[in-house]
Structures are given as structure tokens and as C-alpha cells.
Chain A
Amino acid sequence: DAGVIQSPRHEVTEMGQEVTLRCKPISGHDYLFWYRQTMMRGLELLIYFNNNVPIDDSGMPEDRFSAKMPNASFSTLKIQPSEPRDSAVYFCASRSSTGGALTEAFFGQGTRLTVV
């Protein structure tokens, strides 16, 4: 397997524009997580899904952020409208429930978002 695949790797956009980040989890993994990383706040969990259903979105900063998982092999994180303070590295991770809590999470390479 190629691992967790995120696209794009880098995104530069102007304030006010819509931004869509994409993630393809590892095949067979039933948990998917979106994290955001900044120097000030570190790694923050934004939302996670189980079997394509959002379980906990309490980390989503505000209504400008939304996430979907239309099927087991694809998820998106959308920011509309984007603001400069959204600039960060966004990571997607996936994990299998087979084996219970013993299974590890696999992270993608991240999307570096810059909002100017």
C-alpha cells in the first residue's frame, strides 16, 4: 500500500477563497483523522470519522471548516472562506480497528496551506 495520500502537498491561496484538502486513507482502515499543526498550537485534532461517519468534530475551529467522507477511500477538508490564520500544515491519518486499541495510526505527508 502507498500509505495515506494527501493532496495537494502545498497550497497557496488568497484570503476569502475556498480551499479543499484531500485525503486517501490506507485501504481497509475504518478510522480517518484530520489534524492541523502550527507552531503556536502544535498538533490539533480537528475531526475524525469511523466507517465514513463523523464521530467527533469538536476540534473544528469554526463554521468555515467542514469535512466529509463520501466513501471509505476518500475524505475532504474544506475551508470557506479561508483566512490567513488558517495557514498551517494539515495532516490526515488513518487507523484500523482490527486489533482494537493496539493498532497504530498512519499519517500522510501533510498539506502545507498558506493563506495570503
Chain B
Amino acid sequence: DAKTTQPPSMDCAEGRAANLPCNHSTISGNEYVYWYRQIHSQGPQYIIHGLKNNETNEMASLIITEDRKSSTLILPHATLRDTAVYYCIASSGTYKYIFGTGTRLKVLA
């Protein structure tokens, strides 16, 4: 599975959009981009995934560049409860996830 690179930390004002970038320049054609988050010491929680098209669900939007070498997770209206570590994972059909170090997002009141 491709290695991903994320900034170690980011701040976002409450109510504003949080844009979390992820670089996956070595991603292969059959690898999906998955996003998970971990709030405090809880188990990681699935957010969204995509292959090449942009995706949106009730939690977030995922924007994948045309060359698929990077993506951005967008939380449209961040709340204090969105403070967490966000993980970007590139994975094919092996079913296992290899987690990187993630981005620690702090939403500020």
C-alpha cells in the first residue's frame, strides 16, 4: 500500500471549514483513499473513502486530485467535537490498514 504524508497538526476555528491535506504520490490505480479519525483515546472511526471521484457524506467531503497524488478531507463546519487525530490511508483490496502518524486537528472556540 502507498505511503501517505500528512501535516502533524492543524488548527481550525469553530464553524469554519477544516481542510486536511494528504499526499499519496505513489498511489497505484487500484488503491482507495480512506479517512479515519480518532477522538481522544477511542478506537478509530471511519469517515469517508474514494477512488478518483470526489465524495461527500454526512460527515465530510473528500476531494481527490485528478492525478490522484493527493487529496483533501473537508469538514464543512467544524465543531469542538471534531477535535481529533485524522488518518489518511491508501489501501487496495488487502483489507488491512496501515496507519501513519495522522494530523492532529484542534478546533478552537
Contacts and interface: CB of A to CB of B under 8 A. Distances in A.
A48 B106 CA distance: 32
A41 B48 CA distance: 25
A44 to B, nearest CB: 8
Interface residues of B, number: 21
Residue in A4, A43, A97 with the greatest tally of chain B CB atoms within 10 Å: A43
Contact of A56 (B34, B41, B96): B96
Nearest to B97: A105
Interface of B: 32, 34, 41-46, 49, 87, 91-93, 95-102
14 contacts: A35-B99, A43-B99, A50-B95, A91-B43, A93-B44, A101-B91, A102-B49, A104-B34, A104-B46, A105-B44, A105-B46, A107-B44, A110-B41, A112-B41
